[in-house]
Amino acid sequence: MPNNIKARVINEANYIIITNQTIREISKYFNVSKSTVHDDLSKRLKKIDLELYDKVMKILNYHSCIKHLRGGTSTKLKYLKRII
């Protein structure tokens, strides 16, 4: 794996640990696609640093568990804006 990819993967992992942001937000910050960030954090990171991978997976699993709540909140706000 090229060094620039390893560096990007580690930077993304550290960023998600510090900020606790979603894959979408990370992809915007690093200017790469959501698929790339997902592959970086769920596949490539495991081969690079297992401890960092475990920390990141806890965050990603948490985001996965609450995504239905975020969607509901987003929809509620969308319709509240239409009423006002």
DSSP for 18-32, please give it.
HH---HHHHHHHHTS
pLDDT tens-digit readout, 21-80: 999 999 999 999 999 999 999 999 999 999 999 999 999 999 888 777 777 777 878 887
The residue segments making up the domain with residue 71 are: 3-83
pTM for the model stands at 0.77
Q: Which two tokens stand for residue 84?
A: 């006002």
Token match 């490539």: residue?
44
**Long-range contact pairs involving 57-66 (C-beta distance under 8 Å, separation at least 24):** 59/16, 59/17, 59/20, 60/16, 60/23, 63/22, 63/23
User: Region 7-28: what's the mean pLDDT?
Assistant: 94
- SS3 for 1? coil
Total domains in the chain come to 1
> So what's the pLDDT on residue 48?
93
pLDDT for residue 84 is more than 80: no
